[in-house]
Every structure is written in C-alpha cells, then in structure tokens.
Structure 1
Amino acid sequence: MSSAWAQGELPRQQTEEEFQSLMPITGTVETMAGDFELDHSFPAPGEADKIYDLMDHQRASQLYLWGLPIVGMTRWHLGYLENYPDYDYNKIVAVKSFNERRGILTANETTDYFWGFGNTRESAVILEIPPGVAVGMINDMWEQSPGDYGIFGPNNGTGDLIAVVGPNTPADMVPEQTDDLRIMEIGTDQTYWLFRLIGTSDEVDAFTSKLKIYNYGDEAAPVDIIPGEDKFTAEYQPRGLAYWEMLHTAINREVVQDRDRFFMYWLRQLGIEKGKPFNPTERQKEILIDGAETGELMAKALVYNERMEGVLRQNNWRMILGGTWGDGQKYTNRMKYWDAIDPRARYTYEAITTSPAMTMPKPGKAQLYIGKFEDEDGQRLQGGNNYVIRVEKDVPANLFWSIVVYDTDTRTIIDNREGAAGGKATAGSKTEGIRMNADGSFYVLLGPDAPPEGWEANHVQTLPGRGWFPYLRMYGAEESAFNDEYKFPTVNKVMDFSDYIE
C-alpha cells in the first residue's frame, strides 16, 4: 500500500484534544436516551444499571422488528393445529369465507386461498401441481421465497413439479434433478406454500383434486384439504409477553441462520434461549413487554410514514412490494454488503409472504400491490368519515383488480360484520353487480352508514373510531401500472355521496 493511496483514502486522525473534549472525565453525558453521570471515567454509582436498562430496552425493540416474520408464520401454523384436529404437514386449508380470511395480514377476498406448511428435515417436500389458473409460491418461515409456480411461474400455469429442500434435508432424500423437476432451496426446515385460485368453483375443484403434496419417499396421493369451517385463525403477531413466547417457540422449532447469531445472543441476555424453557426474570419480562410495545410503534412508523426512496409513487400511493433493490421488500433480503431489515419488518408487520413475481414483477405476469394511508388533503383515513375512491377507467390488469379495505390496528380486512353492509371489505372487477360510471371509471364508496340503495356492490362500511387503509391490487398488471402512465385512484373525504350517485 503506498503512502499516497493511504493518505487519499483514510480519514483524518482525531486529535487527543478532540477526543478528550467529547466526553467528560467527571460529569454529565447528555444523550437522546437521557443523562448519565461519570466519575473519573467510571459510571457513577447506580449509572451502570441505567445503562444496562437502556441497552436491553433498545435490543428488545429491535428484536421485535427482527422477529416479525417468523412470529407471524409460527402463530399461523400453530393456529391451524389448534383449530383443526386433522391438520398436519402436507395438508392444505381451504380459505373461502370472510371469517377465515379475517385474521390474515392483508388477505384479499377475490381469490380462493389454499395454503399450508410442510417439513423438509427428514426428506424433501414434493409438490405435483396440475395445470390451472393458480398464482402461488413457496416461502420459508422467515417469509423468503425461492420461487413462484402457476401462471406467474416459469411454466405459465401448464403444471409444475417442485422439490423443496431445507438446510437439514438428507442428500439421499432429495430426488435427482430432471428437466421436469425444479428444486427450490429454503433457509428453514419448515416450508409454506400458497395457492391463489382464480376460476369457477368447478375449475377450483378440478385443480385441487389433482394437486399432490408429500414428502419424498412417501406415496404420492391427492392432497388432503381441510375445510376452513368459517373459523377465525390469527396470523398477525400477538402483543405483550405473548409475542416473545411465540418467538421462543419459533426459534426452538427452527434452525439458526448465521446472519441471526448476534440476535440470538441478544435474546439470551433477555431470558430467551434456544433449547431452554421460556423463563425470563421479572425485570426481563418488563423489558420484553416494553420492547414489544416500542418495537410495534417503530413498525407502525415504517408502514404508515414511509421514508424509503423508490417506494412512494403517484399522489402518495406506496409500492407494498417492489421498488429498486434495497428500497422495497424482496423475495430475499440479501444485498451485496448487508441484509435488509427495515423493509422486511415493514412488510411483515402489514402483510405476508413474498416471491420473485411479487417483488420483481414482470409486466403482464405480475401482481401489483399499492397502498395509501391518507386522503388527497393529507389527512389520515378515519372510519367515522365518508370517502370516495375514484378508480380510473381501463385498469391495466388482465385477471382482476380490487380495492380492499384494511383495519389500521390489525392490518387485516376490516371487521364490519355487525354493520348493515357487513362482511364485505372489497370492491373490484370481480365484485358482482359493481357499477361503472359513464366514462368507464368506478367509485368505491366508504363510510360508517349503510350503503346508498343500488350502490351496495361499490360500498365498504367503515368503523367509527378506527383507522383504515386501502390496497389496490392488479393481477396480470401491465406496463402502464408500473411506469406512471396509468393514473392511480384518488381518495377524497366527502360529506355524503349525493354528488356521486345521482
């Protein structure tokens, strides 16, 4: 290394005087987290306890953000084990009713959902997927995806044969690679699969009757389908100490990835350790409860007050997935020099699952998801007010488009079942009876009262005292949805709907 190169690249050395001036030998150190006293450069009596409290509180709040994806996925899986006595790995739950969707982060009401979990520890999980109008993907328990299948996958809906391989799958329990077989590697033992089925009831039944999911070495047979039975299953993360109990369960059911070893050390300092019972001290419990609350506030800020470039779009609609690398949530969080944590926390607090087709969309073979958290005057969306969302004509979506309304607190479809127009959170191209304006646009009407007569299909009833936000979905989104050629909807607060329903 030449001295010239070193002088050009290295920072200027701090002088001894500068070093001494930035922290007293004896005196007060003022920080954003409070003031701390030093005595001859030692923490003054009692100050070390305050410093440790600060350290542990900060770590707990960051651990909350880190754990969001695996806590949500684990709660979801355990919820199905509790709700359905016959549920197990390699089975799928059929989710069709409002109540079955209600606990799932930002689920939609347009497609029939079929989803479930498998385990790769003993052998690869095999999916034999028949032809059909299915949109699906594989995820691991950290909500990272090795790939898509179905109409947005490489085979364009003509059928897929997939082997899912985890970090502990024995080599002799992985099928040999063939031209027809895709091997998908995941970072956890457990895997999750999703099928969004678009079609008639007969087409859905024909598809699911031919679908096979099993572990390699077992007999291939049609997958067992567990009816949802209109049961509520919560996937959104619990609060308080229950969050940490679920995280403890999650890390004990999974492998530890190299990127997470520092986080595992932080957990250990807070009484949560892999291979040991959940038994934090009273002090640790107080810190964990506060950390979950503070961490959720951070997650809310990440979601509802976006600060990442490349994600905000026209009139403050936000790309839920996508954006340039490093800006939006991706099917993997691995960048060249770092793993993205804020985008992962933001996304997995409000939604679930990722895939290449969702996060790196290709026009025509893409799902577009955008959200908005204020009206055109910059005011938050509140359930006691009336609003009109205007969806411009010729929505560039080959399969369907929809506006779905979610509750700000739970991030799930708005629970308006008790209202006069309850049990409905969606208006879109597949909504039976939706009214189109003369110019080809659509009005979606939102407010706390019953819908105007004749406008039931275009209306979603909101809840006074609770916030809400919309997602606009486009399945089969075209290029104009991504390049700002198509103008995204407006959201306007109104006194009533009289000017729109004449």
Structure 2
Amino acid sequence: MDEGALIPGRLADVVIEDGLPRRADLPLVFDELDYQLACQVYLWALPMVDFAQWQQVHTEEFQAGPFDLVVYRSYRDRLGIITANATTPYIMNFIKLGATGPVVIELPPGPTAGGVSDFWQREVGAMGEMGPDQGKGGTYLVLPPDTPAPPGVTADHVLESSGMNIFFGFRTLDPDPARAQALVDQVRIYPAGRREQTAPTRLVSPDGRPWSADQPRGVDYFRALHRIYQSEIVDERDRFYLAMLRQLGIEKGKPFAPDERLSRILEQGAAAGRLMAQANSFAKRFEGSRWWPDRQWDLATMLERSDQRAEHHDQLLERAAWFFEAVTFSAAMRSQTRGLGQAYLGTYTDATGAWLDGGRSYTLHVPADPPAKLFWSVTVYDADTRCLIDNPQQRGDRGSRDTDLLHNQDGSVDLHFGPTPPPGGEANWVQTVPGRPWFSYLRLYGPLEPYFDRSWKLGDIHSA
C-alpha cells in the first residue's frame, strides 16, 4: 500500500518516495506541524488570554488603576462579560502583583461571593460566604509567588498567589440595591502596609459603552498571548507548551514579529482552534456531563477542582471547554454543600438536538419549586460571543427575582424565547435575535437536595 495514501488532510499532497517525503514537499510538512502547534496552543492558552484581554479593557478602556474596582451594574455594562449573570452586579479588577507587590483587600461583612484567581483562572482563595470569613468579612493579604509577608503586616487571611497577575472579583447577593451598594462602598484595596497613604478605592463604571472580554481572533490572539507571557510565570507542567510558543515566535524578552508565512499559519490556527473550542464547549463529550440522561442539559463546567487537576492528568480539554464559554471558576461554582454556592447547567440545543435558532420561538417548562435557597434564573447567551444576548429588549434572563413572573396554578413556570413575544405578553419572554444562534444556562444559587439527587428535573427547550 502507498504510505502516502494513509496521510489525511493537509498532508495528503505530500509525495512519499521510498518511505521518505519528497524534499520539495518538506515545507508542507513543516507548515502542518506549526499549524497543529498553533491549534494546541490556542486551546491551552484560553484562560490566560481571556483574562489578559479583560485586563487590557480595564486599564485602557475603563482607565481603572490597580486599586480601583470596576462595577458592572446595568445590562449594557455586563454585555461584554462572557456568560455573565444578568441578575446580580459584578465588582472586579485585575492587579499586576509584579508592579504593586503584596496587596491587602478589605471585605466587609455581608452576603457576598467572590475571591481571587490567577490568570490561569485557578482559584487562589475564595472570599465571602464560601470563603474562610464565611460572610463575616475581614482583611486578605495577597502575596506574589515566593514572596514573604512584609514585616509588620498582618491580616485575617493570607493568600499566596500562583501567578504574577491576579483577578479579584465578587458579587453582592443581597437583593436590596441600597444594602448591596453599601457593601461595595466598604471594600478597600491597597499596597500592604500603606493603607493610610493610599486613596480610598475608586469605583469605576463602564457607563454603558460597548466593550468585550471575548478572546481576540486571528493573529491578535497570539499577540495577546505574547503580551501577557512577558509578565507571567508558567508552571513546570507546561514547559512543552513553552517549546510550542517558541516555535510560533513567542518568547520571553523578545518581540513578536511573525513573518508572512507564520502569520498565515497563526491566522489559520486561531480559526481552527476557535472552532475546536466551540465544539468542545457546545457538544460536550466528557463522561458524566449530561445531568439527566433523558434531557439535553449538561453540567456547564466539568472542572473537578479549582486547580484544574484530576487524579491522573490535568483537565486540559475540560478547562478549554469552560474558559471558552465562561470566565472564572471556584469550588463554589460546583458546590456540594446544600444551600451554599451555585449550580450551573447549560443547554446548547433544543429537545431534538438541533442548535437553538434566534429566528424561531421556543418554550421551556420549569417545574415548581426549583431547588435554590437564594434564587434561580435562566439566561440566554449569544453563541458567537458567549455574552448576554444583545437584544432590543435589553433583558437576557428570567427567574425567581422577577416580581412580574407568571406562574402556573401548580407553581411551575413556562418561559418563552423567540424574536416576538408569545400570546399573553412579555412577562416570561426573553427576546432572541434572528441570525444569532444562542444557548442557555440554568443557575441555582444555594442549590438544595432535589438538585443533587436529581429528583427535580428541568424540561428541555422545545420549539413552539
């Protein structure tokens, strides 16, 4: 048999002579090698590039400094966040520990959920109700890697960062806007030991301007990766990926200047990597991802631990799936504690397995008594951006905190999705956009036993 006939895809045109590739075809082989490296680097780097993009938005577009907080209150403010919760406000910032040194975060007592993550989106430490303060507040000292606490600086809790760049964010869980704002006003961030010399933490607003935390596309993805790699550390486990970066022109202390050939390969690799990431997220093939065997709902994240490690491997594809369609992960997001944390289920198709079409109308039956101690919501996201749907209605979710939600006599709720409202009004309707496919999350805040034992079962999304 001709050995060349066994080679698939882009290498099918390589001529094999006496078991060796024809020398004139070697550029095809090396182009394919670099292309495959680009695809794998794309999947590996998703969490870091995503945070790097968002950090750049904070510093360049929002003009937020290291000790400021960006507050995302309105629907338009949150349109740039990948799979944002449309129910609660977000308060966030990114801190370059290499520039600031150790920092202190003061968190007031009250119902909050949040924490600190490195740029691989591994949880450095939880805060608030799921953190060591258990909602009682306190001071957190955050240290750069391999850095001792400054002399004379004490804190209630010490977090040792696994990276040089960190994300700090939290959500207020109090439904009363005034009380929630009072919590936000009390948060302070400052260099360790310099509280009195540092101005009070400033609250910055996106002010409804358009922005996006979506990973850059094409060669810009690799430019963002090069930029953040210059100031970030990489674990020992990733040294082979650093060899791939080097082959793709990304090195510490050197400019990123791909020639025409490499630019073409990186453009193709980013496009293919994005397609792989999308399929990996929206058509999960991970064992145990389907929550109910006879439903289309999946666990939105298959990460088992906040450090992204499993017993015999690190969860590369599970990590890529989650951080393509979402940002941040903590143990609280796969809570096993009844009444605390959150549960997330995602559906990307209707009951028949077809992608959800923004030009068609659908219904979803939510049985009575959704098992959530705090609240539940169903949210619609644009499949391309993975952000809240940007519809004329300027509303992307319906849930238990909506006072106008209409219930059936048995306590169940029928939700409607489509470009036009159903007969009977808009109370239970989320508007979709023709030509924009979508997907949906169910969130349970404070999940209860009927979720864990699966005795409460959500319906599929059906075409109306």
Structure 1 partner of 2:297 = 317
- Say if 2:341 and 2:447, in contact at 8 Å, map to a contact too: yes
Note if 1:459 corresponds to 2:434: no
Once the two structures are superposed, the pairs formed by residues 351-370 of structure 1 within 5 Å of their partners are 351-370=326-345
Tell me the equivalent position of 2:44: 66
Query: Secondary structure at 2:15's aligned position in 1?
Result: strand
State the AA in 2 paired with 1:448: P
Q: 1:185 aligns with which of 138, 150, 160?
A: 160
C-alpha root-mean-square deviation of aligned residues, in Å?
Answer: 2.0
Conservation of the 8 A alpha-carbon contact between 2:326 and 2:386: yes
Whether the 8 Å CA contact 1:146–1:184 is kept in 2: the answer is yes
CA displacement 1:397-428 (0-9 Å, x = unmatched): 111100000011111111103xxxx1011100
Structure 2 residue identity aligned to 1:429: S
> Helix, strand or coil: the match of 1:146?
strand
Q: Distance in 1 between matches of 2:361 and 2:434?
A: 10
Question: In the alignment, which of 79, 88, 91 is matched to residue 57 of structure 2?
Answer: 79
Structure 2 Cα separation of the partners of residues 174 and 301 of structure 1:
50
Partner of 1:252: 230
Native 8 Å contact 2:304 2:310 kept in 1: no
**Residue 479 in structure 1 maps to residue 446 in structure 2:** no
CA contact (8 A) 2:143 2:149 kept: no
Q: How far did residue 357 of structure 1 move?
A: 1.2
Equivalent position of 1:223 in the other structure: 201
Q: The residue matched to 1:114 in structure 2 has which SS?
A: strand
Contact 2:300 2:345 in 1 (8 A): yes
Distance 1:49 1:164, change over 3 A: same
Contact 1:124 1:174 in 2 (8 A): no
Provide Cα deviations, 1:56-77, integer angstroms capped at 9, x if missing partner. Answer: 1111011111111111101111
In structure 1, the residue matched to 2:188 is 212
Match of residue 436, structure 1, among 407, 410, 418: 407
Tell me which amino acid in the other structure corresponds to 1:340: Q
- 2:314 counterpart letter in structure 1: D
Q: Is 1:241 the equivalent of 2:219?
A: yes
Residue equivalent to 1:194: 169
1:343 and 2:318 matched:
yes
After TM superposition, the score normalised by the length of structure 1 is 0.86
User: Aligned partners of 1:290, 1:353: CA distance in 2, in Å?
Assistant: 28
Separation (CA, whole Å) in 2 of partners of 1:28 and 1:225 = 62
Q: Distance in 2 between matches of 1:461 and 1:297?
A: 26
CA distance in 1, matches of 2:67, 2:304: 28
Between the aligned partners of 1:44 and 1:337, the Cα distance in structure 2 is 41
Whether the aligned pair in 1 keeps the contact of 2:94 and 2:167 (CA below 8 Å) is yes
Match of 2:309 among 328, 334, 359: 334
Residue of structure 2 in register with 1:18 after alignment? none
Name the structure 2 match of 1:109.
Answer: 86
* 1:294 match: 272
The aligned counterpart of 2:76 is: 99
Matched with 2:113 is 135
Unaligned runs of 5+ in 2: none
Amino acid at match of 1:332: D
Separation (CA, whole Å) in 2 of partners of 1:172 and 1:427? 46
The AA in structure 1 aligned to 2:430 is V
2:66 is paired with a residue whose SS is: coil
2:362 aligns with one of 383, 387, 390: 387
Q: Secondary structure at the match of 1:46?
A: helix
Q: Secondary structure at the match of 1:472?
A: strand
Q: Is the 8 A contact 2:75 2:394 kept in 1?
A: yes
**Percentage of pairs with the same residue:** 35
Shift of 1:172: 4.7
The answer on 1:468 being equivalent to 2:446 is: no
Letter aligned with residue 301 of structure 2: L
| Aligned residue number for residue 463 of structure 2 | 493
The Cα offsets for residues 216-269 of structure 1, whole Å up to 9 and x where unpaired, read as 122156422112311233111111111111111111121232222221221221
Q: Cα distance 1:175–1:71, how it changes in 2: closer, same or farther (>3 A)?
A: farther
Matched, 1:31 2:7: yes
Partner of 1:17: none
Question: Is the alpha carbon distance of 1:229 and 1:175 closer, same or farther for their aligned partners in structure 2, counting shifts above 3 Å?
Answer: farther
> Where do 5+ consecutive residues of structure 1 fail to align?
1-22, 323-327, 495-502
Partner SS for 1:361: coil
TM-score, length basis structure 2: 0.93
Counterpart of 1:106 in structure 2: which amino acid? Answer: T
Which structure has the bigger radius of gyration?
1
For 1:96, the aligned partner's letter is: R
Q: 2:398 aligns with which of 424, 427, 430?
A: 427
CA shift at 1:337, angstroms?
3.7
Would the aligned equivalents of 1:272 and 1:280 in 2 still touch at CA under 8 Å? no
Quote the Cα distance in structure 1 between the aligned partners of 2:160 and 2:454: 35
- Decide whether aligned partners of structure 1 residues 147 and 488 sit closer, same or farther in structure 2, where only a CA change above 3 A counts: farther
CA distance in 2, matches of 1:106, 1:258: 31
CA contact (8 A) 2:367 2:412 kept: yes
Amino acid at match of 2:435: G
Partner of 2:419: 448
1:89 aligns with 2:66: yes
Q: Distance in 2 between matches of 1:271 and 1:209?
A: 45
Structure-2 separation of matches of 1:98 and 1:367: 21
Aligned residue for 2:4, secondary structure, equals strand
Sort the Cα spacing of 1:134 and 1:174 in 2 relative to 1 into closer, same or farther, 3 A: farther
